Structure 1
Amino acid sequence: MAITAALVRELREETGSGMMDCKKALVATNGDKEAAIEWLRKKGLATAEKKSGRIASEGLSMIVVSEDAKKGVAVEVNSETDFVAQNEKFRNYVKTVADQALDTKAADIDAFLAETSKADPTKTVAEYNASMIAVIGENLKIRRFQQLEEQNGFVTGYTHMNGKIVVLVDVESDVDNEAVREMGKNIAMQIAALNPKYTSDAEVPQDYKDHEIAILTEQTKNDPKMAGKPEKVISGAVMGRLKKELKEICLLDQEYVKAEDGKQSVAQYVASVAKAQNAKINIKGFVRFETGEGLEKKNEDFAAEVAAQLQK
Structure 2
Amino acid sequence: MSINKKISLESIKDLRSKTGAGMTDCKKALEASSGDIEIAIENLRKKGLATADKKSGRLAAEGLIESYIHAGSRIGVLLEINCETDFVARQPQFQQLAKDITMQIAACQSVQYVSKQDIPDSFIEYEKQIELQKDDLISKPAEIKSKIAQGRVEKRLKELSLMDQVFIKEQSITIEELVKQHISLLGENIKIRRFERFLLGEGIESKNKDFTTEVSDMINSK
The structure where strand makes up a greater share of residues is 1
Please tell me whether residue 294 in structure 1 is matched to residue 207 in structure 2. no
Pair 1:158–1:228, CA change in 2 (3 A): closer
| Alignment gaps of 5+ in structure 1 | 1-149
CA root-mean-square deviation = 2.8
Check if 1:190 corresponds to 2:190: no
Q: 1:196-275 to 2 correspondence within 5 Å?
A: 196-219=111-134, 222-223=135-136, 227-229=139-141, 231-259=142-170, 262-275=171-184
Which has more radius of gyration? 1
* 2:115/2:162 contact within 8 Å kept: yes
- Structure 1 residue 227: deviation in Å? 4.8
Alignment identity in percent?
28
> What amino acid sits opposite 2:132 in the alignment?
T
Task: Report the Cα offset of residue 283 of structure 1.
Answer: 0.3
2:154 alignment partner AA: K
Distance 1:191 1:156 in 2: 12
Alpha-carbon distance, 1:244 to partner:
0.6
Distance 2:140 2:65 in 1: 53
Between the aligned partners of 2:132 and 2:167, the Cα distance in structure 1 is 29
1:179 alignment partner, SS class: helix
User: If each structure's helix is expressed as a fraction of its own residues, which one has the higher value?
Assistant: 2
- TM-score w.r.t. length of structure 1: 0.44
Q: Judging changes above 3 Å, is the alpha-carbon distance between structure 1 residues 203 and 280 closer, same or farther for their aligned structure 2 residues?
A: same
Q: Is contact 2:61-2:83 (8 Å) kept?
A: no
C-alpha displacement at 1:290, in angstroms?
0.7
Q: Report deviation, 1:163.
A: 2.2
1:54 corresponds in structure 2 to none
Q: Mapping of 1:1-312 within 5 angstroms?
A: 152-174=62-84, 175-176=88-89, 177-195=91-109, 196-219=111-134, 222-223=135-136, 227-229=139-141, 231-259=142-170, 262-296=171-205, 297-298=208-209, 300=212, 301=215, 304=218
Letter in 2 for 1:246: L
One-letter amino acid of the counterpart of residue 248, structure 1: E
Following superposition, the deviation at residue 161 of structure 1 comes to 2.4
Q: Which runs of 4+ in 1 moved over 2 A?
A: 226-229, 231-234, 297-302
TM-score of the two chains, using structure 2 as the length reference: 0.61
**Partners in 2 of 1:279 and 1:186 — Cα distance?**
18
Q: 1:204 Cα deviation (Å)?
A: 1.3
Counterpart of 1:163 in 2: which secondary structure?
Answer: coil
Distance in 2 (CA, whole Å) between partners of 1:235 and 1:151 is 41
Residue 204 of structure 2: SS of its match in structure 1?
coil
